Amino acid sequence: MVEGLDADAYDALVTAAETYRAALVVRLGGEAGLRTGEITRVAPRHLRETESDADLALLAVPADDTGTGAAGGEGEAKPPSRDRSEIDRETTIPASLAAELRRYAESADLDESEPFVDVSPRRVQMIVSETAERAAARTDGAVDPDATPRDLRRTFARRLLVDRGVDPHAVREAGGWETMATLDGYLGPLDGDAIASAIAGRRADSSDGPTADAAPTALEGFEALASGDDRSTPLTAVPGGVVASDRWAEAWVIRGMEDRDRVEIAGVAGVDRESLVDRGVGGDGLCRDAAEAGEPVATEGATATAGRPAVAVPVRYRDVTHGTLCVVADEGSSASAVSPVSPVERREIAALGRCLGWAVTAGRWRNLLHSDAVTEVEFHTGDDGAFLARASAALGCRIELASTVAVDDDASRFYLSVEGAHPQALADVAADASGVSDLRVIETREDGCDVSARVEGGSAVRTLTEHGATVRDATAEDGLVRVVADLPEGADVRPVADGFRAAFADARLASKESVPRSPRSEDSLREGVTDRFTDRQWAALSAAYHGGYFDWPRGSTAEEVADAMGVSSPTFHNHLRKAQRRLLDELFEDARRARHPTQE
């Protein structure tokens, strides 16, 4: 299901705003893609007209530290600064929103440098929450009452990427996302019919490129994923579907881009493997460029593509690159008949790469869920970039990762149990560690403590999870992190190991063995329960449990847990109460079924 609100739900949310300012808050998130803190910083001087489209305006997004500084002379609008220390980026907004912002500034008698929304980020969250609850009541649940500013940013991405087919590069820049991978969750996953319909509709409405009015050229590649054929090896199924069209003559998927000497051709159609090896697909070239850039790369002719137009796209799921998909155009009746790769075709193949990446990860999760045995792998790393390794080495302590909770697209909150070090010493190490912040004490013991910390970017646990593994244990001692994870029985461990080494250069696979699945594994205990929770409800319950909220005396208050998750206290309570209710429903319904089996 595509993330973000659809058009009707979004319109209902805007309509439910009780004040002019509340409506602007919602629209700045949903139509400008602003983060919570950014909504509180934009001012009249950050608006300007575009030179290319009267239906759009540009809104400069000020950086956190100096974005609302003084304007030019009194009563004189100062154009947005090009100084990157002041302005983070520019985004587009509809001309109607720009007009509303100017009208509000005039009615409120705002100076050019005064923010349109002069409240705290916490108050912005509350405004969105209150508006969502009213919209849900008015629409009988058509609007999610738990909608947040993050959902509005997802709506912004959805409107541009899915509804309008805007170039993902432009969307990334407008929304301020650091990588293309962060947009994947906003696009899908979609089933085969939905993908085919979206691509066919986009091509029919597009006029860019020489093949804009033609039928989709990679449709059967999507159908190879959606039909269920050869589901265990999607990397081998897709190339054959791609070359079924008259546009593409060759297609292949390669893995192992981290190591130039260990590149593997996972699937190929329209050309034999030996020819690809002779062309040097594993060295410098189109496929490697796409893997390293993390986005599509097109060419009008290269050695690896036999001199014909081609496009290569990463096969990605979130931050994990499983490989690269490369397609090469058919020669046609003559050399002049070969048209260059159009923007529409590039988007189409890029969408196929994203779906293929998701399918690889989903396939591993599916196999792991239904397997009676698992492949247990153990990885070790002492990389200084791994916070747990660095902290355990500096303090001579043992650290166990109790849980992780995603708090936004690029960060997680780690819940740690520490033996042999106290909070202040750990805080000192965290202060010097890149990407680690907001360390909070949950409990202090004579020989250690329980803490949580916000960790941005990749981690050993996240890397393995996004490769389709289930992490069972993660500990650090004497500067060495030890991670134990489960993969499906018989799974190819090499791509997972390569991906882990790509994140942590010194990582090594310490052991690999086939073991029976434990009948009381975490997955089996959760079976029948977690499908009742939304992701937010599960995150709230997990954060509350590991944050010591249920302990007596409490290790953290509800407000502290909510703040650590980056949500308002009412939103946290809402998710937690619903999660508790559903957990108790499962408990007491099971008891009732046990007492009255004939009533089922």
Q: How far is CA 557 from the centre of its chain?
A: 29
Q: Running DSSP on this structure, what letter comes out for residue 217?
A: S
pLDDT of 400 higher than 80: yes
Residue-range domains of the chain with CATH: 7-177 (1.10.443.10), 187-367 (3.30.450.40), 373-518 (no CATH), 535-599 (1.10.10)
Give the separation between CA 441 and CA 555, rounded to whole angstroms. Answer: 8
* Residues 464-506 pLDDT 10s: 777 777 788 889 999 999 999 888 777 778 778 877 887 788 8
Which of 313-324 are b and which e, b meaning 16 or more Cβ less than 10 Å from the residue's Cβ?
bbbbbbbbbbbb
- The enclosing H or E element of 242 equals helix 234-242
Report the SS3 class of residue 233. coil
Highest mean pLDDT among 52-56, 391-395, 462-466, 585-589: 391-395
Percent of the chain whose predicted confidence (pLDDT) is above 70: 72
pTM of this structure: 0.44
* Residues 136-182 pLDDT 10s: 888 888 888 989 999 999 899 888 887 777 877 888 889 988 777 77
With contact defined as beta carbons under 8 Å apart, do 28 and 105 qualify?
no
With contact defined as beta carbons under 8 Å apart, do 464 and 386 qualify?
no
As a whole number of angstroms, the longest Cα–Cα distance in the chain is: 81
With contact defined as beta carbons under 8 Å apart, do 301 and 309 qualify?
yes
Helix/strand/coil (H, E, C) string of 136-190?
A: HHHCCCCCCCCCCHHHHHHHHHHHHHHHCCCCHHHHHHHHCCCCHHHHHHHHCCC
What is the reported pLDDT for 132?
92
pLDDT of 258 higher than 60: no
pLDDT of 335 higher than 50: no
| CA-to-CA dists, residue 44 to 71, 99, 179, angstroms | 10, 11, 29
β-pairing, 56-62 with 87-94?
A: antiparallel
What is the reported pLDDT for 492?
76
Instruction: Annotate 64-121 with DSSP letters as a single string.
Output: TTTTT---SSTT-PPPPP--TTTEEEEEEEEHHHHHHHHHHHHHTT--TTS-SS-S-H
Highest mean pLDDT among 147-161, 229-243, 327-341, 555-569: 147-161
